[in-house]
Amino acid sequence: MANLMKTAQTKAKAAAVRRLPPRWGGWLLAVPPMLFTLLFFLAPLVLLMIYSFGKIDILTFEIKFGWNLGNWAALGNGVYLSGLIRSLVLTLVSTVLCAVIGFPTALAISRASGRIQTVLLLAIIVPYWISFVVRNYAWLTLLGPRGLVTRLLTAVHLTGPGQDLRYTTGAILVGMVSSYLPLMILPIFVAMERIDPAVLDAAADLGLTALATVRRVILPLSMPGFIAGILLVGIPATGEYTIPSILGGGKTLMVGNIIHDQFLGVGDIPVGSAIATALMGLMLVLLLATRRRVRQLEDVL
Amino acid sequence: MSSLGSPYSGPLRSSRRSFLTAGVGLAGAALLAACGSDDSSSGSAGAGPTTLNFLNYPDWIGKDEVAKFEAANPGMKVKQTAIADGGVAAISAQIAQNKGAFDFGLLGGVTAARLKAGDLLSTFDPSTVPNLKYIPDNFRKMFPWGIPTDLGKIGLGYRADLVPTPPASWKELFDALPDHSGKVIFPDYDRDVLGIALLALDYSVNSADEGELNKARDLVITAKPHLKAFLSANQGSGLADGSAVMTVFYDYSYGSVAGENATIKWSAPSEGLPAYIEGWVPLVDSKKLAQLATFMDWHLQPEVYGDFINATFASYLMPDAESHIAATIKDDPALKYDPNANLQFEEFTSAKGEEIRTKIWEEIKAA
């Protein structure tokens, strides 16, 4: 009996030991990534917020920290508001364009057979390997008065001969759509790939035309992909800085350019921090507002 | 409790410890790397090469000047970093935010004066640069913060075949913009754009009056829809390919494109040309002032200076270097120094004035 009890106690201890290390070990394992996140992600964000209440000396560029609400009050300034509104409008238009172009493209890829599908996917992905900046400089040439795009549009009488399409809002949109399109196509493609072929067969058996199948079956089932694409395109596009810098000719400023100008152009880190924090807050609110939909992304991302 | 241990706890703990140690080590290394500066280039006399960190416009130096200087001065290196685009505020911010990272920079008079007011320059001792004698006194007086290297002017370039009668004044240029909508380029430089707008309105190029500056802002904002772009470089390329008919640009930009197309012409509007002297200036916290003086003196040798002018098409300040300067530059009315030209030299006025100009430039760009 005593032996039996001893054995039971030993087993209980062993079980306890087996349970304990994972709890502590798990925490210990989590320390480096937590430290990393704390140091390089959260701390800079906190610093950004602290800086947003500071004030800069325009000659020495020294920052006096305190409780200066002037930078936040400045956000109501038309200059910053117009930049923000312009960013939101351009983001909305480019996201819609990406979705409109991305959906049929993803559909075509998902319907293609094995090898052709691979080639089509590579055609979407490979340009993405080229530097973002280089791709946008390439557009500068293509949209120039002697550029391929301009000549093509001239040939079909959409533009006058020798017209320069660079440095316009349209050029910025072209740059944004071409840069972000893969981020829309790929999640929609993944969502489409997960549609059970039996569902499509059932739709056909029930007499739905191809167009009706797309509208009533494929489109609703691709929604998680759409939402993922909208987030992947919309969030970085709102803070876009490079594309308007290259293709906008310094005339069309988005909020990303205004933040850049505050940090590096004027050196007013407190105002730049206030705008950046406000933009981050806005994005966070939008994400939280759509969080129910975001849950659908788990299968896609 | 851990002393109870399972058969696997020893090796596991040990492996976790190693993992943690490695992780902390890596994080530490990353932190050090992030916080560290470019020590390899900072150098100090007697311990490896001394590297002079030069904040410069890209290629704004003689073609082989650095290589020849390094060959002639073993143990000395020059490392160039591109200066910020955007104007006085951007350059000042770049220097202030990287205090100690650069030993000297190519600065215009306004930027140098502004940095001096903010205590962001090192004191320049002219006696350490004997070749400064080749630069005429008037330019040395106008640029006391370092060695003056060249003179810049902002004028009007145009295509004579496309604009047979160019605007004779800055005011006429602004009035003519709707007729050439989308075909005119402005520089992406705060001081210069505000300068021509102020001159067009009959104000001083150095006005610090908020009312006058606001009127200049309104004029530029009204003109903005008709502009093709604000470009920080290559403002003349539009004239060369015909996508622009007029451009407000620098004399050196004109010099670099005039040879490409004979129809590209330079015009000096009647209100005067905003102008500036620029030069090499020692920056705050530089510990290599003696070595910098050596490089400055090298740069001001007439032959070296001539190569610098030939490479940059800048307006030269050194009459003694003329025999080394290409005839196309010496004979060009845009590049040759003309004491009778109506030059409106840009000056630093006050911190308040700079603050207003900075704010106004933001408003112009965001409009």
pLDDT digits (tens, 9 = 90+) for B160-204: 999 999 999 999 999 999 999 999 999 998 899 999 999 999 999
B183/A264 Cα distance (integer angstroms): 29
Does residue B147 sit in the same domain as residue B161?
A: no
Residues B113 and B173 in one domain: no
**Shared-domain flag, residues B320 and B266:** no
Determine the 3-state secondary structure of B269 from DSSP. coil
- Domain membership of residue B215 (yes or no) is yes
Distance from C-alpha of A71 to C-alpha of A86, rounded to nearest angstrom: 21
**Do A202 and A280 belong together in one domain?**
yes
Q: Copy the structure tokens of residue B5.
A: 């241990």
pLDDT at A25: 78
**pLDDT grade, residue A20 (50/70/90)?**
low
| Residue B50 confidence (pLDDT) | 94
Q: A163 or B167: whose pLDDT is higher?
A: B167
Supply the CATH number for residue A222's domain: 1.10.3720.10
Measured in degrees and rounded to the nearest 5, phi and psi for residue A78 equal -55, -35
Q: Which tokens go with A180?
A: 């972000």
Chain A: give the shortest CA distance to residue B200, in Å.
Answer: 21
Closest chain A CA to residue B367:
A79
Q: Which of A59, A84, A141, A257 to mutate to test the interface with B (most CBs of B within 10 A)?
A: A59
Domain that holds residue A40: 2-51
- Report d(CA A144, CA A163) in Å as an integer: 8
Of the candidates B299, B332, B305, the residue with the CA atom closest to the CA atom of residue B321: B305
Are A171 and A232 part of one and the same domain?
yes
Residue range A236-264: average pLDDT?
91
Q: Give a yes or no: residue A58 inside a domain.
A: no
The secondary structure of residue B319, as a DSSP letter, is: G
- Note the pLDDT tens digit of each residue in A192-202: 999 999 999 99
Selecting from A28, A35, A79 the residue whose C-beta is nearest the C-beta of B366 gives A79
In a domain, B36, yes or no: no
Residues 6+ apart with CB under 8 A from A233: A94, A95, A98, A180, A183, A184
Same-domain status, A14 and A132: no
- State the smallest CA–CA distance between residue A241 and chain B in angstroms: 13
B53 with B131, same domain?
A: yes
- Return the pLDDT at A288: 86
> With contact defined as beta carbons under 8 Å apart, do B297 and B149 qualify?
no
B15 with B66: CB under 8 angstroms?
Answer: no
Q: Are residues B50 and B197 in the same domain?
A: no
Q: Does the structure show a pLDDT above 70 at A4?
A: no
- Are residues A159 and A37 part of one domain? no
pLDDT at A116: 95
In a domain, A63, yes or no: no
Cα–Cα distance for residue pair B243/A149, rounded to 1 Å:
15
**A79 and A44 both lie in a single domain:** no
A258 shares its domain with A293: yes
* Cβ–Cβ under 8 Å, residues A71 and A270: yes
Per-chain mean pLDDT for chain A: 88
Q: Do B362 and A261 touch (CB under 8 A)?
A: yes
- Residue in A62, A164, A169, A271 to test binding to B, most B beta-carbons within 10 Å: A164
pLDDT at A66 (0 to 100):
86
Nearest CA distance, A255 vs chain B (angstrom)? 9
* Count of domains for chain B: 2
The verdict on A12 and A152 lying in the same domain is: no
Domain carrying residue B160: 154-275+348-366
pLDDT at A160: 84
Q: In one letter, which amino acid is A161?
A: P
Structural domain contains residue A68: no
What per-residue confidence (pLDDT) applies to B116?
96
pLDDT for residue B90 is more than 50: yes
**Average pLDDT value for residue range A133-143:** 94
- What does the DSSP 8-state code read for residue B47? B
Q: Best of A28, A266, A271, A275 to disrupt the B interface by mutation (most B CBs within 10 Å)?
A: A266
Please tell me the distance from the alpha carbon of residue A226 to that of residue A35, in angstroms, as a whole number: 34
Say if residue B89's pLDDT is above 90. no
Tokens 């403002």 locate to B235
Check if the beta carbon of residue B359 is closer than 8 Å to that of residue B210: no
Min distance A172 CA to chain B CA atoms (Å): 13
Of all residues in chain A, the one with the smallest CA distance to B226 is A251
Give the mutation candidate from A251, A255, A258 for the B interface (greatest B CB count, under 10 A).
A251
CATH code (residue B185): 3.40.190.10
Task: Give yes or no: residues B109 and B49 share one domain.
Answer: yes
Residues of chain A with C-beta less than 8 angstroms from the C-beta of B232: 250
Choose the closest CB to B229 out of A146, A250, A264.
Answer: A250
Query: CB–CB of B2 and A24 under 8 A?
Result: yes
Output DSSP code: residue B283: B
- In this predicted structure, the answer to whether residue B60 has a pLDDT above a threshold of 90 is yes
Q: Do A58 and B367 touch (CB under 8 A)?
A: no
Query: Strands, DSSP E only, in B256-342?
Result: 264-267, 273-282
Judged against a pLDDT cut of 60, whether residue A280 lies above it is answered with: yes
Q: Is residue A60 part of a domain?
A: no
CB contact under 8 A, A79 and B363: yes
* Pair (B162, B125) in one structural domain: no
> Which one is predicted more confidently, B186 or A266?
B186
Query: How large is the average pLDDT for residues B50-67?
Result: 96
Q: What is the spatial distance between Cα B141 and Cα B149, in angstroms, rounded to a whole number?
A: 13
User: Which residue from A17, A144, A253 is facing B4, i.e. has the nearest CB?
Assistant: A17
Chain A residues within an 8 Å CB radius of B224:
251
Q: Assess whether B213 and B356 both reside in one domain.
A: yes
Tell me, yes or no, whether B180 and B271 share the same domain.
Answer: yes
Tally of domains in chain A: 2
Which residue among B27, B231, B365 places its CB closest to the CB of A261? Answer: B365
Q: What is the pLDDT of residue B8?
A: 31
Q: Which residue of A has its CA nearest to B350?
A: A59
Same domain, B283 and B144: yes
